[in-house]
Amino acid sequence: MFIYYILIGLLILIGLATLGGALFGQARRQRLLLLGLTLILWVGAGLLWLVKPSPPPAAMPPWKRTLQPSTPSPTITPTPHSRGRIAFHSERSGNLDIWVMNDDGSEPLRLTDAGERDIEPDWSPDGDFVVFASARDDVYDMELYVMRNDGSDQHLLMYSQPGDDWGARWSPDGSRILYQSNRDENFELYTVNHDGEEMTNISQHSANESRPDWSPDGQHIVFVSDRDGNNEIYIMDQDGANVVRLTDHPADDTNPHWSPVGEHILFESTREHESNIYLMATDGTGLLRLTKLGHDDTSPCWAMEGEKIVFSSKRNDDDWELYVMNPDGSDVVRLTESDGFDRFPAWTRYGATGTE
């Protein structure tokens, strides 16, 4: 493309030179020839400009090349009964492992079996990979791992560091992973490239900061902090600047999740003594309790492009199970029924199989 523009520029410059000869030359015949040559050069430059070639396709970013699966994931057309998949951690096999299932609760599949805790999964934006926290290398030191969506290629995200890393959330563009770590004693918020490089502390505060989540455009982060005495919900720019407090209550507010369209924040709170799920606008107004009093409801996440909320509850048999409801708290449907608790769901639109 660079040479192409140089050629057009040369034609224009030569045309200007011949035009000068046509205007100031002494011989009439010579002036006419130079004028004709000027027109030819400028017409040629104009045609080249009109038919300029399209730029070559941009090279695939390195993180995308790295994340390409060795075999493509099957493309499944979502059905009315199963529009995506849910990853979650479950104790149903006797140990905390990562499981996936269709978002109607069907076809549960165990992805990890490391003998130690594997917890709190989150999907890459394309649904091909899952990031999660694991104690498989040291029961006293949680580290972040990444695996493919079928459970293969399980590997450390970063070189082992002292302290616990967990609560990972993949950025909307897939390039970075947001998480909490106490490697510097108190919990702070960090980002790291999907390949484990360029770790950055973005909170840099003496308080405990936890449970971060990205805004849909990746420009802001909602998180929990006890900087004002107890756990409250805050937002900030993606680089840690412009921190704004959203909630102000003596109870603990935690586990915030930004809605897919960016207008609301979902979170859980103990402000009614037990844990319940709440919804508010991104400026902290319009608070609405979604779940009923009388039992604990926790770890909510958005599903089906914001049309549903998946969460964990002890409402039926004093065992944590997964449920789904409308964004206003109506139409609650139970998704799991197993021994051992099921918690911390994460939804992706990709890979649902089967029908109800």
pLDDT of 162 reads 82
Q: What is the dihedral of CA 284, 286, 290, 292, to 10 degrees?
A: 100
Give the lowest-confidence range in 29-43, 63-77, 194-208: 63-77
**Paired strand residues for 334:** 323
Reported confidence tier of residue 45, pLDDT bands at 50, 70, 90: low
Compute CA distances 6 → 2, 12, 74, whole Å.
6, 10, 46
The pLDDT of residue 55 is 44
What does the pLDDT read at residue 317? Answer: 77
Average pLDDT (10-29) is 61
pLDDT above 90 (res 200): yes
The pLDDT mean for the chain works out to 85
The predicted model scores a pTM of 0.76
**pLDDT digits 0-9 by tens, 244-264:** 999 999 999 999 999 999 999
- Per residue in 127-183, pLDDT (tens digit) is 999 999 999 999 889 999 999 999 999 999 998 678 899 999 999 999 999 999 999
pLDDT digits (tens, 9 = 90+) for 285-332: 999 999 999 999 999 999 999 999 999 999 987 799 999 999 999 999
Interatomic CA distance for residues 266 and 281, integer angstroms = 9
In order, the DSSP letters of 189-250 are: EEEEETTS---EES---SS-EEEEEE-TTSSEEEEEE-TTSS-EEEEEETTS-S-EE----S
Strand ranges of the sheet holding 118-123, from the earlier edge strand across to the other edge: 118-123, 129-134, 143-148, 155-156
pLDDT at residue 27 in the model: 65
Fold of 80-348: Neuraminidase (2.120.10)
Is the model more confident about 55 or about 336?
A: 336
Q: What is the pLDDT of residue 75?
A: 33
pLDDT value at residue 306: 95
At 297, phi and psi to the nearest 5? -130, 130
Show me where the domains of the chain are located.
2-50, 80-348
Tell me: pLDDT of 108 over 80: yes
Query: Rounded to whole angstroms, how far apart are CA atoms 243 and 245?
Result: 7
**What pLDDT score was predicted for residue 207?**
95
Q: Helix 28-50 and helix 2-24: axis angle, to 10°?
A: 160
pLDDT for res 81: 43
